[in-house]
Amino acid sequence: MASSFKARAKRALAGGLGAVAVATLAPLGLAQPAAAATTPLCTSSSHPALAAKLSRDIKSALSGRTDTYALNVWDPHTGVYCSLHPYWHFDSASIVKATIMGALLYWRKGQTLTSAEVAHLRPMIENSDNNAATWLWDYVGRTRIQRFLNAAGMTTTYLGPGGYWGLTQVDARDEMRLLNVYTDRTDLLTPNAKAYALRLMASVESDQRWGTPYGTPAGVTAHVKNGWLPRASLGWRVNSLGIFTGGGRDYRMVVLTDNQSTMDYGINTIERVALQVHRDLGMYNVKPGLAPRTLQAQPQPGADAPRNQAGDGSAPFGPVKN
């Protein structure tokens, strides 16, 4: 697909951690120049020491990782903003369901959702139900979904061809803009709609609560949507969106990955980053001794341990036609 080819070609123009693209939140809609090797991963005018520490910790967490990744982190309370490869594109897999939800709520702004809409929206988010996602993708329609993307400023998100919503091309910058729709922004969704969306994301079934929620501090609620998809090229795509509120905290995180041989490797990359973000932005209110889980082996049982290693079914394994 043309947009996928052009988007992924951008990766060849950038290096690893030395090619970090950093932006402040205010000019988030403007293309950022390639940063020098010394540019910090995270910035904050009000808390520069915290930003510097988180930069070091994220770089350390990603040291030696062989997959491809991008991330955005934003904490309005401290002004800490982190950005790594924000314009690199990835197949969305099931995280696009958070966009479909936003498009539905934007279209139906100020109206009560119908029983059919609720009956599909809840399982799409809480259980990552693909049939529900396909129904809503068709029901809301590409035109309305694109209208929502435009309103949200998600200008470099490209909808998947036909019914292949899981092949929507996303980048970390636009996904952060999506999370801001559910939190800071007041112009697109009503307060009730935002609260409803966050309740659904906080109610995701236990075996899908891996990734960005890993290491969430006590007293903080994690709102999450994940995607996990293997394909013939670039191996697994493993993505995680997280919004973290309560206990005096309010921050959000996007980590996108691909080019890995197993789902577990992608989860481990995301959780290495997440643990450092929670420790630093959570002011160290994280369980002592917690370390990144070793997921290449059989996952340990627990609320955040992945159980579905077969992919989220959001797109076929092989090529598709436009």
Query: 73 near 252, Cβ under 8 Å?
Result: yes
Q: For the chain, give the percent of residues with pLDDT over 70.
A: 80
* CA angle, residues 135, 184, 69, in degrees to nearest 5: 70
CA 119 to chain centre: 24
- pLDDT for 289 equals 53
Q: What is the pLDDT of residues 62-95, one digit of tens each?
A: 999 999 999 999 999 899 999 999 999 999 999 9
Q: To the nearest 10°, report the CA torsion of 169, 92, 109, 28.
A: -60
310: confidence class by pLDDT, cuts 50, 70, 90: confident
Domain coordinates of the chain in residue numbers?
2-281
Instruction: Please state whether the predicted TM-score (pTM) of the whole model is above 0.75.
Output: yes
State mean pLDDT over 260-270. Answer: 95
pLDDT band at 104 (very low <50, low <70, confident <90, very high): very high
Q: Which CATH number fits domain 2-281: 3.90.1150.10, 1.20.1530.20, 3.40.710.10, 3.40.50.300?
A: 3.40.710.10
Q: In the prediction, which pLDDT does 321 show? A: 73
What pLDDT is attached to residue 36? 38
Q: Among 126, 130, 149, which Cα is nearest to 138's?
A: 130
Q: What is the pLDDT of residues 7-66, one digit of tens each?
A: 454 453 333 343 334 333 333 333 333 333 457 899 999 999 999 999 999 999 999 999
* CA atoms in the 13 A half-sphere facing the CB of 290: 17
Amino acid type, 309: Q
pLDDT tens-digit readout, 271-304: 999 999 999 998 644 455 555 544 333 333 233 3
